[in-house]
Structure 1
Amino acid sequence: MKSKLTCTFLSLATLLFSQNTPPTISNVALVLGANNHLIIQYDLADEEGDAVEIAFRATGQGGLLFDYETSNATGDFGPNIAPGAGKQIQWDFSAYAGAQSDFRIMLVASDNQPLDIQALVDQVDSTRLKDDLTFIEGVRHRTAGVAHLEAVKDFIEMRFQESNLETYRQEFNYGSYLAANIIGRMIGTESEGTVYIHDGHFDTVSNAPGADDNGSAVAGVLEALRILAPYASKKTIKFIGFDLEETGLTGSARYVQSGILPGETIAGVVNHEMIGYYTEVPNTQELPGGFEIIFPDVVNALAADEFRGNFITNVGGGFSSSLANSFAAAAAQYVPDLKVVTLQPSFLIPDLSRSDHASFWQANIPAIMLTDGAEFRNHNYHTPNDKVETINFTFMQNVVKATVATLAELAGVQHSTSWWGETAFFTAADEALECGLHVSPNPVRGEIQLFWGDCLHGIFDVSLSDTNGKVVFDKKLDSGKASSFQIDAQPFAPGLYFLQVKSGQKKWLEKIVVE
């Protein structure tokens, strides 16, 4: 949080028997056929053997909205598609052939069963939260802890990639430091231009390991992602790690200024800001000056409980009131053990504007802050004592549960899954490419083709790692000797891999699926 100075078994059984598994799409191949036809081959699985409804959508390469006309497609899509291998869709894209550009394709598989949000919520795992926070803990400051700061950035980015999000960095300079917001886009399947954001900043002040501030938030965002990512949602959910919150909300302000994509409407932001400190000891919850005047009913309720620090504060008034009410209602329904204190100020209060939600407030975008209260409860705030051993993981787990329920309801998470990918039909090795790394095809069954633009000069490093971090390919390349390179993927086991290319201060990370 920004300093004021810088302004058991039974539950598992219930889960297994109360909600079946959504259908899945795998082994997708995008093939260029004759006469401007795209052939989409895929396998369809459903553990219960139910008939599945398949939706097929398309847009241009890198497109935000799937707005291409696909009603002329034929084959295995629509309702009542039987599970099995070798499914095929053919699409005549003649209406878009003149652009000679590639396509982004989405397939959605639904068994039209209701989603059991309670079963979803119950998957939130306190052990995973602790494991992630144990890694994240440590000074993450642009001058005092750069190495660990960069490691945490990479960690967040890798987790986004593993969850099949459209992942990228919004980079900008802050003095000599290259700052980066880490963004993962879980693309909506119906109203993808409508976006809900779940965020937490990952930086710390220079002297604190930042377990609560704000490693607890980052771990919470990653756990919410783990629960939600296997499902499709009608609306888009963006998971964001913000940089430089401690310098005055710099990262989130930059995102609001230039990171919201044309065609996106941000419907709401759920900002985690310190969600791990909890105590039942009386008189441990302090309050900012003037709260007894602004929120007399809240203060009276806290006094009746002897000012115990045993609740999460849910901050969002005015145009954010509906979002705050949605969180409070979801917590009451799905996580009754979580005590929520909702504050809905009718005017700007500095002590309630000290985190990244305030950047969205400034742009009239609905946003809430979920917080344990920072230094008004946790006296380890901004000190070397802000460590994992001070965190209450049951409390933290409950906050994440309520967040998952809120996002599932608002974004329209469905009992379905989705797949998206891009073709590489019109990208040739000798084509003048923009500065950066280009990978084709993906998914791959034979060779991975790498192309690079004019910004790669001299020697650069190429490595390929599996999801366990094991490096399966590592080589230095010379851009002066070739403009492309091929990696034989046949020796690699099928699965998800991460391709990393380093050239000087530049770095690219690409997700590769080997089939």
Structure 2
Amino acid sequence: MKIKYKNLGDITFMKTALAIFVASLLLLNLAPVIDSQQSFIESVISHITEKTAHYYLSNLLSFAPRYTGTENCKKAEEWAYREFLKMGLKAEFFEWEMGGFTDRNVVATLAGKTNYTIIVCAHIDTVEDAPGADDDGSGTAAVLCMAKALRYYHFANTIKFVLFSGEEVGTYGSYSYAKYLYEKGEKIIGVFMLDMVGYATTEKGGRYVRIFKPERSDKLVEKIKDTAERYKS
């Protein structure tokens, strides 16, 4: 299935939003930021391209719709799993069963030096009758783009790239995984959940990054805002 955009700005803004999140994620691993680190961040951001985003999104749409538990959803998960492996990342399936549904999440790991973890995630499933290009094909493509850009580097904290199923039927995949990590005692210092990337618009037709957050994430959101100002050009 081919992607139809209103204009090139859709995929271009997706690239801009990705750059902001990548830089924010890096700043969690590089504190305080010094000049050499600044150059490093800019180098990593340069790997985020419109061509890569288009590749992942167009391939994902060939499995549409991706309703949880269906053959299409499983094929999309297998495709994403293979893409993570091609990047040289450790990839695995996290199987879950909840609410009458059985499916799996795709988890790829970029190991760090500490026992702290940052999660970058999106949901790969869709509602029953939609291709899910925006909700949440855009987020899934964004996670894959970020993984591809970061794969060559080593960081203090482990980064997990997670694609959830079960979101549209009750957030079952993410709930099951969060419960598993909590019971395991995983030390999570930040979570970036990317959903409908580049969707938000202003009355004047401009675009912006819209952030939904719990109160305990205020410091992380401030870091994202500061990062956006620094790298928005």
* Coarse TM-score class (shorter-chain normalised): 0.7 to 0.9
Amino acid at match of 1:167: A
Q: Which residue of 1 aligns with 2:177?
A: 255
Task: Tell me the CA shift for residue 185 of structure 1.
Answer: 1.4
Residues 110-121 of structure 1 correspond to what in structure 2 (within 5 A)? 114=37, 116-121=40-45
Aligned partners of 2:68 and 2:165 also within 8 Å: no
Task: Tell me the CA shift for residue 131 of structure 1.
Answer: 1.3
Q: Secondary structure at the match of 2:168?
A: helix
Aligned residues: 195
Q: Which residue of 2 aligns with 1:186?
A: 110
| 1:333 and 2:230 correspond | yes
Amino acid at match of 1:262: K
Instruction: Detail structure 1 runs of 4+ shifted over 6 Å in the superposition.
Output: none
| Deviation per residue, 1:68-93 (Å, 9 max, x gap) | xxxxxxxxxxxxxxxxxxxxxxxxxx
Task: Tell me the CA shift for residue 166 of structure 1.
Answer: 2.6
Q: Secondary structure at the match of 2:210?
A: strand
Amino acid at match of 1:311: Y
| 1:160 and 2:84 correspond | yes
Distance in 2 (alpha carbons) for counterparts of 1:266 and 1:150: 28
Rg larger in structure: 1
Amino acid at match of 1:322: K
Distance in 2 (alpha carbons) for counterparts of 1:245 and 1:142: 8
Q: Secondary structure at the match of 1:314?
A: coil
Percent identity between matched residues is: 27
Amino acid at match of 1:222: L
Distance in 2 (alpha carbons) for counterparts of 1:277 and 1:258: 31
Amino acid at match of 1:327: I
Aligned partners of 2:91 and 2:109 also within 8 Å: yes
Question: CA distance change for structure 1 residues 313 and 117 in 2, over 3 Å: closer, same or farther?
Answer: same
Q: Which residue of 2 aligns with 1:311?
A: 208
RMSD, matched Cα? 2.1
Distance in 2 (alpha carbons) for counterparts of 1:248 and 1:307: 34
Q: Which residue of 1 aligns with 2:66?
A: 140
Q: Which residue of 2 aligns with 1:224?
A: 146
Structure with the higher strand share, 1 or 2: 1
| 1:173 and 2:97 correspond | yes
Distance in 1 (alpha carbons) for counterparts of 2:96 and 2:40: 41
Amino acid at match of 1:195: T
Task: Tell me the CA shift for residue 314 of structure 1.
Answer: 1.8
Task: Tell me the CA shift for residue 260 of structure 1.
Answer: 4.6
Question: CA distance change for structure 1 residues 317 and 308 in 2, over 3 Å: closer, same or farther?
Answer: farther
Distance in 2 (alpha carbons) for counterparts of 1:260 and 1:240: 16
Q: Which moved more, 1:132-141 or 1:160-169?
A: 160-169
Q: Secondary structure at the match of 1:254?
A: helix
| Deviation per residue, 1:450-506 (Å, 9 max, x gap) | xxxxxxxxxxxxxxxxxxxxxxxxxxxxxxxxxxxxxxxxxxxxxxxxxxxxxxxxx
Aligned partners of 2:198 and 2:208 also within 8 Å: no
Residues 293-312 of structure 1 correspond to what in structure 2 (within 5 A)? 306=203, 308-312=205-209
| Deviation per residue, 1:336-371 (Å, 9 max, x gap) | 24xxxxxxxxxxxxxxxxxxxxxxxxxxxxxxxxxx
Aligned partners of 1:139 and 1:148 also within 8 Å: yes
Distance in 2 (alpha carbons) for counterparts of 1:276 and 1:134: 16
| 1:246 and 2:172 correspond | no
Task: Tell me the CA shift for residue 312 of structure 1.
Answer: 1.3
Distance in 2 (alpha carbons) for counterparts of 1:268 and 1:166: 20
Question: CA distance change for structure 1 residues 249 and 323 in 2, over 3 Å: closer, same or farther?
Answer: same
User: Could you say which structure has the greater relative contact order, defined with CA pairs below 8 angstroms and 6 or more residues apart?
Assistant: 2
Aligned partners of 2:98 and 2:172 also within 8 Å: no
Q: Which residue of 2 aligns with 1:505?
A: none
Question: CA distance change for structure 1 residues 183 and 261 in 2, over 3 Å: closer, same or farther?
Answer: farther
Question: CA distance change for structure 1 residues 261 and 183 in 2, over 3 Å: closer, same or farther?
Answer: farther
| 1:125 and 2:22 correspond | no
Q: Secondary structure at the match of 2:153?
A: coil
Task: Tell me the CA shift for residue 174 of structure 1.
Answer: 4.0
Distance in 1 (alpha carbons) for counterparts of 2:214 and 2:68: 33
Distance in 1 (alpha carbons) for counterparts of 2:182 and 2:50: 32
| Deviation per residue, 1:285-343 (Å, 9 max, x gap) | 5xxxxxxxxxxxxxxxxxxxx45451111222421001111111112112x24xxxxxx
Task: Tell me the CA shift for residue 258 of structure 1.
Answer: 1.5
Distance in 2 (alpha carbons) for counterparts of 1:233 and 1:260: 23
Distance in 2 (alpha carbons) for counterparts of 1:330 and 1:223: 19
Question: CA distance change for structure 1 residues 261 and 227 in 2, over 3 Å: closer, same or farther?
Answer: farther
Aligned partners of 1:198 and 1:269 also within 8 Å: yes
| Deviation per residue, 1:34-82 (Å, 9 max, x gap) | xxxxxxxxxxxxxxxxxxxxxxxxxxxxxxxxxxxxxxxxxxxxxxxxx
Task: Tell me the CA shift for residue 256 of structure 1.
Answer: 1.2
Amino acid at match of 2:211: N
Q: Secondary structure at the match of 1:215?
A: helix
Aligned partners of 1:317 and 1:324 also within 8 Å: no
Task: Tell me the CA shift for residue 163 of structure 1.
Answer: 2.5
5+ unaligned residues in a row in structure 1: which ranges?
1-112, 280-284, 286-305, 338-515
Aligned partners of 1:170 and 1:259 also within 8 Å: no
Structure with the higher helix share, 1 or 2: 2
Q: Find the partner of 2:221 among 321, 324, 338.
A: 324
Distance in 1 (alpha carbons) for counterparts of 2:177 and 2:66: 20
